[in-house]
């Protein structure tokens, strides 16, 4: 049972990584310089910038913001549940 949750956590994390790639590409096209060597540290900053810019343009955050937030939260939840089932 725990393996299922670990697989779901990995799939959710991959979805979040894909969303972060799209967000950084979108910001790069807008002229915002992306620091690729430190992208792991700065991804939250870039997601916040994406949210802020899309909110100013359209009135609400862009779809990739929600995709990133939901997938990363699901990855965390699935991993925790997987560890709980493994401990039982």
pTM for this prediction: 0.90
Q: What one-character-per-residue DSSP string does 1-39 give? A: -HHHHHHHHHHHHHHHHHHHHHHHHHHHHTTPPP-GGGH
pLDDT of residue 80: 97
pLDDT of residue 88: 81
Q: Where are the domains of the chain?
A: 2-87
**88 residues of the chain, pLDDT tens digit each:** 889 999 999 999 999 999 999 999 999 999 999 999 999 999 999 999 999 999 999 999 999 999 999 999 999 999 999 999 998 8
């Amino acid at each position: 049972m725990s393996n299922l949750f670990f697989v779901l956590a990995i799939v959710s994390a991959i979805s979040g990584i894909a969303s972060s790639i799209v967000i950084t590409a979108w910001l790069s096209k807008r002229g915002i310089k992306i620091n690729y060597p430190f992208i792991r540290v700065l991804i939250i900053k870039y997601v916040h910038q994406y949210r802020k810019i899309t909110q100013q343009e359209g009135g609400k955050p862009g779809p990739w913001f929600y995709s990133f937030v939901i997938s990363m939260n699901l990855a965390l939840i699935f991993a925790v549940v997987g560890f709980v089932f493994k401990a039982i």
